[in-house]
Every structure is written in C-alpha cells, then in structure tokens.
Amino acid sequence: ILNVEQSPQSLHVQEGDSTNFTCSFPSSNFYALHWYRWETAKSPEALFVMTLNGDEKKKGRISATLNTKEGYSYLYIKGSQPEDSATYLCASMDSNYQLIWGAGTKLIIKP
C-alpha cells in the first residue's frame, strides 16, 4: 500500500492571495497522480490527471506540477476567491492501477 501525504492539513487564506499545497507520494511504481476538488456536501470532482515527470497543468486560476523522481506534486491557486474554499484531494496510482488517496488539504478563503 502506497502512502500519500498532503500538507498542510488545513489552510486559511485571505481572499485575493495566492496559495499552494503539497502532495507527496512514493516515486517507485508510479503511474499517475490525480487532483480533485471536494466541496462540502458534494462529490469530489477531478481537476487534473498527470503522468509524466515535469507535467504542468492549468485550469483557470488553478495549476499543478508533478515531480515523479522525488515524489511530489504542488497545487497552486492564484488570486484566491471564496468559491475556492473546498478540500483538495490528491491520489497516486501505482502500476497495479489502484488509486491511493491522501487525507486532503482543507482550504478556507477569508473574505
């Protein structure tokens, strides 16, 4: 079983500020790294799926990078807005094609 860790566990950010958080995963047998956004009382929704070392993906004000050699991914949010408040989950997929999930980073945007 892989061990996927996310930090910080929670984060308070002032509206308008930019922020980032980390997902760490074992680099051996790596296949893919997923990021999801999970709003309270809703289902997780996919943001990015990345597979190659050095991958960078962007969706609006949110972007992510991937380093498979050292086993980490960063999620960046530029100019945080109240609607960005959510829990951000990452999951690593190994060569057995099973997703192992981190516990999430809970982001709270203060107006």
- List contacts with another protein (CB under 8 A): 1, 4, 31-32, 34, 36, 42-46, 49, 51, 89, 91, 93, 97-104
Give the nearer residue to another protein in terms of CB position, either 52 or 111: 52
Give the nearer residue to another protein in terms of CB position, either 80 or 86: 86
Give the nearer residue to another protein in terms of CB position, either 18 or 51: 51
User: Rounded CA gap, 31 and 73, in Å?
Assistant: 13
Q: What does residue 83 show for φ and ψ, rounded to 5 degrees?
A: -70, -5
User: Rounded CA gap, 63 and 58, in Å?
Assistant: 4
Give me 106's structure tokens: 């809970």
Give me 68's structure tokens: 């498979």
